[in-house]
Structure formats: structure tokens, C-alpha cells
């Protein structure tokens, strides 16, 4: 009850802030309902848990959204209380799928992999922290304009002289790619917790996602998209925070794959 309510409260606040961020968090909530369902041996048990979780998630979402007083960035049902029925229904279905998947694995000849957070190491925690830093940086000022220059403006973001623009205002694709990159450590943690068999070392994909995010940020502000000196647009602290978060994703992935021991290596191979 606690985790769905807390995440629903976060979604309720973001609902009045940014449409894209709300949709990203909604997808994560859907994935969470499925993962929670996999902890049960029966689809019916998982569906019941999904009903309870969906009720607390939707209730907290509506309460916090109405408490903020901000208009919703996405269209809500009329009346809004119908959103609660939607969250419960979707959570029940996602949980049931998770429980059904677990039951299928239990019934198969292959021993079940099981799901245990005890398999996670400190490298996953590093990834969680830097993913939060990168995601939070998207709301921080990335670019600032000069108040004394009337040509210092960012037309696409609707920003004039003496103002600043965050990543959501400035970009149309890069912000979505960076938000998607933030899910990499959580997907990695799920794979590790399941003890899934992979053809690559756990963490390598997260490492690639992290370095890709670093390159994209550098290209859109320093290498390729550097503001011209004449219009006096400068990088702000949000840009540096994003660069730090993306670098942290790369480091967390590198640490995870470095901790992985490959038993298939022949003797004498480092």
C-alpha cells in the first residue's frame, strides 16, 4: 500500500507540471504492477494485490493533484473519480499477467528463477541515484539568455532575454530520450533480481545507454549545438547536472558488469 500510494502522489504532482513526465511515470507504474504480480504463484492472488495497489495509487494521485490546484496537463475522465476505476482495472490486469507468468514458470520443467532484491548490489543503488539526478535535471535551467541583448532568445522554447529554459522547453526529442535512459538502471535491477540468464554481462546495456546519453548532451550544447556568441545564450547549471547524471549511469553500468563473474571463461583468461 505504501509504495503505490507514494508513487501515486508523485504522479499526482507531476500531472499538473508536465505531460511527458506524467506519461513516463504512468508506464513505470504499469511495469511495477506487473513485477509485483510476479511475486505471487497464482494470477488470482496477483490480481487481488493489483486491485489494492491500483486503488491506493489512483486515490493518492487524485488527492495530490487536487491539492496542488494546478490544471491537468493531460485530459482526465469526467468526473475525475473515474480515473480511480481505470488505475484499479489496469493494475489488476497487469498484476494478473505477472502472476500468470510466474505460474507458467513454476509449472515448466525449468527451475523457476525466482525474484529476490537480495541479489542487487550497491552498483544498482548508484544507478538509481544518478537516474534520479538525470531525470530531475530535465526540470532545471539548461540555457540562459542575456537580459541586455534583445536578440538573446530561444524561439523554440518561447524564452526571451533575461530568462532560462529547461530541457522540456528546449528540446522535442532529446528530453524524451534522456527520460527513457533513466529507466535503464531499473530494468537492470529487475534482470539481476530475477537472476535471468543473459548472453552479455549485466550492466553492459546500462553502460552503453549512459555513454550515449553523455554524447547526446555534449552534442546538444557544446559540440554541435553550441550557442553562437553573438546571441549570448549560455549553459546553465541544469546542463551540468544532466551531464553528471548521464555520466553516473555509465559508471553504474560499468561497475555492475565489472562485478559480474563469468564462469565460462577458460583458465588463465582475465
Instruction: Please indicate, yes or no, whether residues 253 and 121 belong to a single structural domain of this protein.
Output: yes
pLDDT attached to residue 114: 65
DSSP 222: I
Helices 82-107 and 43-68: crossing angle, nearest 10°? 150
Question: What pTM, to 2 d.p., does this model score?
Answer: 0.56
Q: Which three cell numbers stand for residue 198?
A: 543473459
Count how many domains the chain has. 2
Instruction: Please indicate, yes or no, whether residues 130 and 53 belong to a single structural domain of this protein.
Output: no
pLDDT tens for 73-87 read 888 777 878 888 888
Q: Does the pLDDT value for residue 242 go beyond 90?
A: yes
Instruction: Please indicate, yes or no, whether residues 134 and 250 belong to a single structural domain of this protein.
Output: yes
Instruction: Please indicate, yes or no, whether residues 146 and 101 belong to a single structural domain of this protein.
Output: no
What's the mean pLDDT in 191-199? 74
pLDDT attached to residue 260: 58
Instruction: Please indicate, yes or no, whether residues 41 and 66 belong to a single structural domain of this protein.
Output: yes
As a whole number of angstroms, the distance between CA 46 and CA 262 comes to: 35
Q: Last residue of some domain: 107, 142, 161?
A: 107
Instruction: Please indicate, yes or no, whether residues 132 and 245 belong to a single structural domain of this protein.
Output: yes
Q: What confidence tier does 244 reach under pLDDT thresholds 50, 70, 90?
A: very high
What are the Cα distances from residue 251, in Å, to 120, 131, 262? 16, 11, 20
Range of weakest confidence among 24-28, 138-142, 248-252: 24-28
Q: Last residue of some domain: 49, 80, 107?
A: 107
Instruction: Please indicate, yes or no, whether residues 92 and 124 belong to a single structural domain of this protein.
Output: no
DSSP 120: -
pLDDT attached to residue 215: 92
Bridge partners (DSSP) of residue 166 are 141
Task: Let me know if residue 167 belongs to a domain.
Answer: yes
Looking at mean pLDDT, say which of 104-108, 182-186, 256-260 comes out highest.
182-186
Instruction: Please indicate, yes or no, whether residues 44 and 65 belong to a single structural domain of this protein.
Output: yes
Q: Does the pLDDT value for residue 264 go beyond 50?
A: no
pLDDT tens for 105-164 read 766 655 545 667 777 778 888 888 999 999 999 999 888 887 777 777 777 667 778 788
> 265 phi and psi, to 5 degrees?
-70, 140
Task: Let me know if residue 265 belongs to a domain.
Answer: no
Instruction: Please indicate, yes or no, whether residues 48 and 132 belong to a single structural domain of this protein.
Output: no
Instruction: Please indicate, yes or no, whether residues 102 and 145 belong to a single structural domain of this protein.
Output: no
> 158 phi and psi, to 5 degrees?
70, 30
Q: Which domain holds residue 145?
A: 117-259
Cβ partners under 8 Å of residue 153, min gap 6: 145, 159, 160, 161, 231
As a whole number of angstroms, the distance between CA 24 and CA 179 comes to: 8
Q: What confidence tier does 229 reach under pLDDT thresholds 50, 70, 90?
A: low
Task: Let me know if residue 266 belongs to a domain.
Answer: no
Q: Last residue of some domain: 107, 133, 148?
A: 107
Report the half-sphere exposure of 192 (CA within 13 A, side-chain side).
Answer: 26
What's the mean pLDDT in 83-99? 87
Q: Does the pLDDT value for residue 12 go beyond 80?
A: yes
As a whole number of angstroms, the distance between CA 124 and CA 252 comes to: 7
Q: Does the pLDDT value for residue 212 go beyond 90?
A: yes
Instruction: Please indicate, yes or no, whether residues 131 and 180 belong to a single structural domain of this protein.
Output: yes
Chain centroid offset of residue 193 CA = 18
Q: What confidence tier does 211 reach under pLDDT thresholds 50, 70, 90?
A: very high
Task: Let me know if residue 270 belongs to a domain.
Answer: no
Instruction: Please indicate, yes or no, whether residues 170 and 64 belong to a single structural domain of this protein.
Output: no
Task: Let me know if residue 268 belongs to a domain.
Answer: no
Amino acid at each position: 500500500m505504501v509504495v503505490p500510494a507514494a508513487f501515486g502522489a508523485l504522479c499526482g504532482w507531476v500531472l499538473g507540471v508536465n505531460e511527458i513526465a506524467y506519461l513516463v511515470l504512468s508506464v513505470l507504474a504499469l511495469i511495477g504492477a506487473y513485477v509485483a504480480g510476479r511475486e505471487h504463484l497464482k494470477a488470482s492472488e496477483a490480481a487481488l494485490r493489483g486491485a489494492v495497489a491500483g486503488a491506493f495509487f489512483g486515490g493518492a494521485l487524485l488527492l495530490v493533484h487536487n491539492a496542488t490546484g494546478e490544471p491537468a496537463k493531460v485530459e482526465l475522465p469526467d468526473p475525475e473519480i473515474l480515473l480511480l476505476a481505470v488505475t484499479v482495472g489496469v493494475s489488476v490486469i497487469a498484476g494478473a499477467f505477472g502472476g500468470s507468468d510466474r505460474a507458467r514458470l513454476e509449472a515448466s520443467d525449468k527451475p523457476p528463477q525466482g525474484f529476490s532484491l537480495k541479489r542487487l548490489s550497491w552498483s544498482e543503488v548508484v544507478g538509481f541515484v544518478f537516474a534520479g539526478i538525470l531525470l530531475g535535471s530535465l526540470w532545471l535551467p539548461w540555457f540562459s539568455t542575456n537580459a541586455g541583448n534583445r536578440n538573446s532568445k530561444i524561439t523554440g522554447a518561447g524564452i526571451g532575454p533575461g530568462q532560462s529554459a529547461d530541457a522540456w522547453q528546449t528540446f522535442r526529442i532529446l528530453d524524451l530520450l534522456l527520460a527513457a535512459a533513466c529507466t535503464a538502471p531499473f530494468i537492470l535491477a529487475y534482470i539481476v533480481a530475477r537472476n535471468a540468464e543473459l548472453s552479455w554481462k549485466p550492466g553492459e546495456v546500462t553502460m552503453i545507454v549512459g555513454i550515449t546519453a553523455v554524447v547526446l548532451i555534449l552534442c546538444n550544447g557544446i559540440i554541435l549545438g553550441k550557442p553562437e556568441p553573438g546571441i549570448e545564450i549560455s549553459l546553465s547549471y541544469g546542463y551540468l547536472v544532466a551531464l553528471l547524471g548521464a555520466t553516473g549511469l555509465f559508471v553504474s553500468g560499468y561497475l555492475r558488469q565489472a562485478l559480474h563473474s563469468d564462469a565460462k571463461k577458460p583458465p588463465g583468461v582475465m
